Amino acid sequence: MKVNCDQLAGLLPDFFDGDLSREQSDAAIDHLATCASCRLTVDELEGVRTLASDHGRLELPPESKERIRRSLGLS
């Protein structure tokens, strides 16, 4: 499975919630590995989510966070 930028944007909310299938999640990570502009988008989104969870409203599942960090080369 391959996704383009538009499709990735559609997957991101579920990606952050950990609701994607394995295949969708792998496709999202594959895309992020090759697309700098989408990495930037995820970075911003993750920042927003992290900020929100600091206020106790949203919690990013540790597994998603880990996968995102790894896909972004942050860990």
At 29, which amino acid appears? I
Q: How far is the CB of 45 from Zn ion (least distance, A)?
A: 13
Which one-letter DSSP state was computed for residue 75?
-
Say how many C-beta atoms besides its own lie within 10 A of residue 1's C-beta: 11
What are the residues binding Zn ion (CB under 5 A)? 5, 35, 38
Q: How far is the CB of 39 from Zn ion (least distance, A)?
A: 8
Q: Which of 37/54 has CB closer to Zn ion?
A: 37
Q: How far is the CB of 5 from Zn ion (least distance, A)?
A: 3
Distance from the Cα of residue 75 to its chain's centroid: 15
